[in-house]
Amino acid sequence: MSDKSQSGTDMAVTLTDVTFAYDRTPVVHRVNLAFSSGSINAIVGPNGSGKSTIAGLLTGMLEPRSGDIKIFGRPLSTIGNRDRSRFLSLAPQKLACPFDYSVNEFVRMARYHRVGQTHSCRLPASDADAVQEAMQLAGVEYLSGRAFNELSVGEQQRVAIARVLAQDTPIVALDEPTSALDIEHQLSLLTLIHRIKVQGGCVIWITHDLHTVFRSADRVMVLSEGSVAAAGPPESALRDEVLESVFHVRRGTQPQPAFELQPRSAN
């Protein structure tokens, strides 16, 4: 990962007493969260609990009514769009493309914005190579010449992952990245998430998949009605009383399957 913090802190993102409301409807209330470098951080919660709002706040698409958001110790409000694109990238639930761009063009946009160039400019060789590598890692290179808007939802989701990889930021936010993926590509994405972590990146992973969170996340933040109901390692944040009070479910009595699925390429 590039563009590491120059502040000397491993804390990539902090939210302090963050509150947000649409008009007069409160969505997020006095949220305190912290995400460190070299970690996978899952944000979970029922529908309408504020998960996607947190993603919007982190990227600056939404502005908190009160509280502070900091990126590597710097207030998010003081970081311009270009610098923000060097620090943080987002794969949203649904990626909109208003024009008839090819997959290659759409992924390349992540580098244009990052290096401060326009679509009409030719990317430097190193940036073009980064785009190709990102498409290979996301498994969408074979879609390069296809129109983005003609792809299936699952294929579009994989292109969104390729854009995040091409942007190459130390903080990566993923909003329900596996919702339309088949099992093969879900497992491949988990491999990529762990790769980002090992390279020192901070992954903020918004998901409903509690089973995978138990296996893969370092820390879990549970949102309930816009507030943090629990936070910590998976076994602590997703303890029985939290599952029952927030998700209205309980652990089953059946043992887990005795096998674990892995990508075919895994050793």
* Contact in structure between 175 and 206 (CB atoms under 8 Å): yes
The number of distinct structural domains making up the chain is: 1
CATH of residue 219: 3.40.50.300
d(CA 100, CA 190): 30
d(CA 165, CA 108): 11
Q: Which domain holds residue 62?
A: 11-93+169-247
The model's pTM is 0.89
Cα-based angle 4, 9, 13 (whole degrees, multiple of 5): 75
* Mean pLDDT, the chain cut into blocks of 10 residues (267 residues total): 52 96 90 96 96 92 95 94 90 85 92 64 82 96 96 95 95 93 93 96 96 93 96 96 95 71 67
d(CA 88, CA 65): 21
pLDDT at 7: 43
First to last CA, the chain: 24
Residue 193 inside a domain? The answer is yes
pLDDT at 115: 63
Pairing relationship of beta strands 171-175 and 202-206 according to DSSP bridges? parallel
Residue 130 inside a domain? The answer is no
CB atoms within 10 A of CB 209: 16
pLDDT at 93: 84
Residue 101 inside a domain? The answer is no
Residue 99 inside a domain? The answer is no
> What 3-state DSSP class applies to 146?
coil
Residue 218 inside a domain? The answer is yes
Which is nearest to 147 in space by CA: 181, 106, 108, 89? 106
Residue 72 inside a domain? The answer is yes
Question: 124 phi and psi, to 5 degrees?
Answer: -60, 155
pLDDT at 121: 60
Residue 237 inside a domain? The answer is yes
Residue 128 inside a domain? The answer is no
pLDDT at 265: 67
Q: Is 75 exposed, middle or buried (0-12, 13-18, 19+ CB in 10 A)?
A: exposed
